[in-house]
Every structure is written in structure tokens, then in C-alpha cells.
Amino acid sequence: MTSMESLKKAAEATPEKSSWREWIESLVVIVLIAVVIRSFIVAPFVIPSSSMVPTFEVGDYLFVSKFNYGLRVPFTDIQWLKSEAERGDVVVFDYPEDRSKDYIKRIVGVPGDVIEYLNNELYVNGKKMPLKVLGEYSYFMGNHAVDVSGLFEEDLTGVKHHVLRKDYSIRDGKWKVPAGKYFVLGDNRNNSRDSRFWGFVPQEYLVGKAVVIWWSWNDATGSIRWDRLGTLVH
């Protein structure tokens, strides 16, 4: 028997992979890639409440970058290549009072800052953050009711963004931000339960930074908010 005939006979004796086995192997690879991407690179997040209006409406779907503040080992507080967040970042984090829940707010105080909220105005290290009046803003809340608030542009030490405010404050106080923690507020200042109520967000609780709105569904009207698709978060 020639060597060519031997190779041909060996090849014929080797069973081919069944189609179902190839399908399962491909599926396993896809799942592993998806898990890695969601754990360390980017993850989806949906806005369930009106606490961040006008930056986010109820029913906005976001992509959250998970590597801005370091890579966190899933189901632990271990972070690799840890990096501090910056004032003005919109972040998703483990809710300190129930870590099974994810919250989204804006960082207004970084470690060492003195934050004061008085008469519905924000002070950072003794300086009042400038507000520019833009008019009124109406929006749907989570229960489909409509609310109206004053719309302002806030200059948060160089980070300009929109906030909603009414003529009264729901919680005033003064706080010194400890090392390794952050003070967060909702952009809808009269409809947000945030650091004014439950305190600081530890660095290791940060999940990621909100990057872009990729889908937006208005459940109250049963329609797509086409104008919000692709909106970058700032």
C-alpha cells in the first residue's frame, strides 16, 4: 500500500463533525464573546424613571462603557487598572442601599470636594454653579403622568448640561466627599432620590460611564423618539 493510499484510507476512517456539534460549538463561542463584551467593554442600560430628565427620558436605551473606571471582575469589587471618575460624568453604579439594582446619576462631587445644596442651587467647594434659564420643559414620568419644570443650563465647573428645577428644594444639606467616593445628583433635581438622601457612591460600585442613546421608546404614546437615537451623553 502506497503512502498516498494510506492517507486516503485514514481520512475516510475519520468521522466528520456532525452539523449539530458544529452549531453548538459556534453558539458557545458566540456566548463567550458576548459575556466578555458585556462584562468588560460595553453593556446596555434602560432608563426606568424620570430622575435624569432632560438628559434621559423614560424608555431611553443606552450603551454604557465599562472600562472608563477600570475593569471590574464580575460579581466582585476587584478592579483592575482603576481610574477615578470626573466631575460631570454620567455614571451607572450599584445602588448603595441595594446592590442588586443599578442606578444612573451625574457625578457632581469627587473625593475631597465640599458639596452644598441650598435653595435648589448647587455649590461646589463654596462656589455656586451658574444656571442659565432656558424656559419650561414638560415630560412623561414613569407612571405616564405629565410634569412640567423649569429648564436650565448648569455649568458644572466647565461641564455644561441641562437640568430641571422647580421653585423649591426637596433636600438641602452640606457634605464633604470622602476619599474613594463620589457625590451624585439626578439632573431632574426635584424628582431624584440621590446622594442628598442616601450618601456617597464608592469607587468600586461604579459600573460604567453612559456613552450614547441607541434606542428610545415612549411608552406613554407608544412611539419611537427618532430624534434621540444616536445622541451622545454629556
Could you write out the DSSP letters of every residue in 110-145?
-TT-EEEEETTEEEETTEEPPEEEEEEEEEE-TTS-
> Active site residue: 49, 51, 149, 216, which one?
51
* 105 counts as catalytic: yes
Which residues, including other chains, have CB under 8 Å from residue 5's CB and lie 6 or more apart?
none
Q: How many residues does the chain have?
A: 234
Which one is catalytic: 49, 50, 66, 105? 105
Cα 196-216-98 angle, rounded to 5 deg: 35
Antiparallel, parallel or unpaired: β 102-109 and 90-94: antiparallel
CA-based nearest residue to 49, from 103, 8, 129: 103
| 209 labelled catalytic | no
Positions marked catalytic:
51, 105
